[in-house]
Amino acid sequence: MRTTAKKHNKKQDTGVAQWRFMLLLGFILVGFTGLVARTAWIQIIQPDRLRQEGDMRSLRTTADPSDRGMVTDRNGEQLAVSVPVQAVWADPKEIHAADGLKNTAAWMALADVLGLDMRKLTSSVADPKRRFVYLQRQITPAVADYIAKLKLPGVHLRRETRRYYPSGEISAHLVGNTNIDSAGIEGVERAFNDWLSSTPAEYKIRKDRQGRVIENIGVVKEGKKANNLVLSIDQRLQSIAYRSLKYATEINKATSGSLVLMDVVTGEVLAMVNTPSYNPNNREQYESFRARNRAVTDTYEPGSTVKPIVAMSALEHGVTNWKEVMDTRPFSIGGKVVTDSHRMATGGLYDILKYSSNIGMAHLALRMQPHWITGKFEEFGLGQESGTGLMGESSGMIPMRSRWSKIELATLGFGYGLRVTPLQLTAAYAALANKGIRKPISILKTTQAPQGQRIIDAQIAEQVIHALEGVVEDGTGGKAAVPGYRVAGKTGTAKVATAGGYGKDYVGTFAGFAPVSNPRFAMVVIINEPHGSAYYGGSVAGPTFAEVMSSALQMYNVPPDALPDPKAADMNTAQRSEGKKNATRS
């Protein structure tokens, strides 16, 4: 019986063990099946999420460093270049993870070399949740090397560029400058920002956990290379012009000054300078009133410098001729008395231009329709933007009225009531020097002379040119003479407009061109509000014109003038003698 019971228990134990084994095997099989199914689901049916998680930990996007395009003058002289510098940045999370702030001595050294307050420096990295903060940008390579040797955890360097201007204040107004992110904010830097800017190419790479690149995947975004910009400016003339204008501004105690020099043949601007100026390499001394390019942003009443244009309109419409002798004694109109600074009893058109007679021009203007004068101003480019694309350019103002009083028309005849920029006035004289052909203005170097547009008969233009030569020979513009060359030009002395009328200050101007026999350069010099012993345009602006024009003619090897045209000399002989007889300085 005992033997039978033992056999029965043994069979029962074996059955339980087998059942437990099969149950365990079932669980293992189910688990394995689930793992296989899950693996298949992740890797075959829905692999994107797993791939995304892996890519987030290993894939990075990087960009090639790119520099801004270079700005040069017409001869390749550098006016704006990008130089390599470094930016210091920090990863606060990394700093706190390494307990980096405990190294007080190293952080004090960092604050000292960056010129920062220690408390402000450490407070900027106090938030451990932040991953990026600039400590300072555009530091020199020497400072960057010093910081690298400090080996502060979480403090890194990154390459960037800084704009440098070799010509400094000389070309600051024209070239302009950029902000800390290398975006143009003034001058041609802003006007041609898209042309000068580059877009870095972006690449996708894979890194391991130590930050090493283990795979270059490919280009994510194609970059755009920067373009260089070649200006029409001749930096040699630019330097001479700035030095001369700065001296004239200081010696005459003037508020400001502007000078524009143009090539008559091509319409290119060879020099454009203003005072006061600023150093674009020193951002700390930047002041908006110094950064203004007054040659294109500021407008002035041109005064007598537009008398030649009014005279050409009068000749074109037949209201006078070179033989007519007019009464040039003071007269009253609209309750105002028109007077001259150079008095003469009578005079022809030659004398009126030579001695800058307001009275004579007022008589001519009163004979004309207003739109004859304003229309001719517009044809010469006054009251219109130049088309150079320079930022902040003013279009000036040509008065347009349905009704004109006699005094308004009379004063328009000698340059009051309208406003022009120095660049516009220079272009107008370039058109006159070009025998009445107006060419487009360019601040970029051109490969060939552009086609121009005729705006006045060539014979009328030549007659006025010879009259303006008399202004420099023995008229109001004697100080603008250049030895060895025949110069034609016109002085201008206009009162500064104030609220409700005119103040006591003046704007002295000289506008002209040379050489008369074959005009090459046109120039305008403006001295604004001189407070020295002189204020007439011929006295304050004439010497600067002579100095810069002489340098330009010699630098470009322009031969001395031929003798004056005998026909032009005969035309003006009678008026010259009459002018010398009647003209007296007041």
Q: Any idea which residues carry the catalytic annotation?
A: 304
CA angle 277, 278, 279 (to 5 degrees): 140
- Find the helix or strand (DSSP H, E) in which 569 lies: helix 566-582
- Rounded Cα distance between 117 and 122, Å, is 9
State phi, psi for 7 to the nearest 5 degrees.
-60, -40
d(CA 541, CA 14): 123
Q: Is 182 left (phi over 0), alpha (psi -120 to 50) or beta?
A: left
The runs of H, that is alpha helices, within 413-518 are 422-433, 458-474
Residue 465's nearest CA partner among 433, 438, 509, 439 is 433
Going by DSSP bridges, is the β-strand pair 488-498/453-454 parallel, antiparallel, or unpaired?
Answer: unpaired
The two tokens of residue 507 are 């704007």
Residue from 326, 413, 319 nearest 374 by CA = 413
**Nearest alpha-carbon partner for 509 in 187, 273, 266, 257:** 257
**Would the CA dihedral through 208, 213, 214, 216 be positive or negative?**
positive
**Cα gap 355→342, rounded to integer Å:** 6
Q: Which residues contact 318 (CB under 8 A, 6 or more apart)?
A: none
Per the DSSP assignment, residues forming a β-bridge with 530 are none
Measured CA to CA, the distance from residue 244 to residue 329 in angstroms comes to 38
On whether the CB atoms of residues 383 and 398 are closer than 8 A, the answer is: yes
452, with CB counted inside 10 A (0-12, 13-18, 19+), is middle
* 87 in Cβ contact with 136 (< 8 Å): yes
Compute the distance between CA of residue 408 and CA of residue 297 in angstroms, rounded to an integer: 26
Residue 207: beta bridge partners? 213
Q: Which helix (H) or strand (E) holds 24?
A: helix 2-40
Phi first, then psi, for residue 131 (nearest 5°) are -115, -10
